[in-house]
C-alpha cells in the first residue's frame, strides 16, 4: 500500500494464504489494477488532447506566417515600384486569408472578391508566360 501511495501503480500484493487476508489482498490488487488502468486512460486521453491542440495551433500559425510573408513581399515590391509583384502578392495573400477563414457561410461579395483575386493571379501568370 505504501508503494501505491508513492505513485507506484503497478505495485501488487503477493498472495500465499487462503484466508480473509488473501481476500483483502486480492481486492487490493484489483483496485490497484483498476486505478492503474484509469490513470493510463486519462494520461493517454490528455496526450491525445494536447496533440490535437498542438496540431490546431500549428495549422493556425502556418497560414498566418504565409500571409504575413506575402504581405512583406508586397511591401517590398511597392517600395521598388514593382506594381505587378505587389498586386499579385496582395491577391495571393487575400486568397490565403479567405481560405483560412473558419466561417462556413460566406457572402456573395466575399466570394466574388475571392474569384477576382484568383483571376488577377491567373492573368498575371498567363500574361508573363506569353512574353
pLDDT over 60 (residue 51): yes
Q: What is the mean pLDDT of the chain?
A: 86
Distance of alpha carbon 45 from alpha carbon 68, whole angstroms: 35
Task: State residue 128's pLDDT score.
Answer: 66
Domain residue limits at 83: 2-129
Label residue 101 exposed, middle or buried (CB < 10 Å: 0-12, 13-18, 19+). exposed
pLDDT over 70 (residue 131): no
Distance of alpha carbon 89 from alpha carbon 77, whole angstroms: 9
Task: State residue 50's pLDDT score.
Answer: 93
Give residue 112's pLDDT band: very low, low, confident or very high (50, 70, 90). very high
Give residue 108's pLDDT band: very low, low, confident or very high (50, 70, 90). very high
pTM of the complete model: 0.47
| Range in 33-37, 64-68, 83-87 the model is least confident about | 64-68
Run of H or E residues at 35? helix 20-79
Task: State residue 100's pLDDT score.
Answer: 76
Structurally, the chain folds into a number of domains equal to: 1
Amino acid at each position: 500500500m505504501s508503494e501505491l501511495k508513492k505513485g507506484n501503480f503497478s505495485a501488487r500484493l503477493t498472495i500465499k494464504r487462503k484466508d480473509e487476508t488473501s481476500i483483502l489482498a486480492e481486492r487490493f490488487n484489483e483496485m490497484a489494477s483498476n486505478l492503474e488502468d484509469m490513470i493510463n486512460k486519462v494520461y493517454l486521453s490528455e496526450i491525445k488532447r494536447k496533440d490535437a491542440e498542438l496540431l490546431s495551433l500549428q495549422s493556425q500559425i502556418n497560414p498566418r506566417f504565409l500571409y504575413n510573408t506575402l504581405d512583406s513581399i508586397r511591401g517590398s515590391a511597392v517600395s521598388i515600384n514593382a506594381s505587378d509583384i505587389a498586386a499579385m502578392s496582395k491577391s495571393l495573400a487575400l486568397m490565403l486569408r479567405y481560405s483560412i477563414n473558419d466561417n462556413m457561410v460566406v457572402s456573395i461579395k466575399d466570394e466574388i472578391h475571392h474569384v477576382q483575386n484568383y483571376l488577377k493571379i491567373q492573368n498575371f501568370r498567363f500574361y508573363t508566360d506569353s512574353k
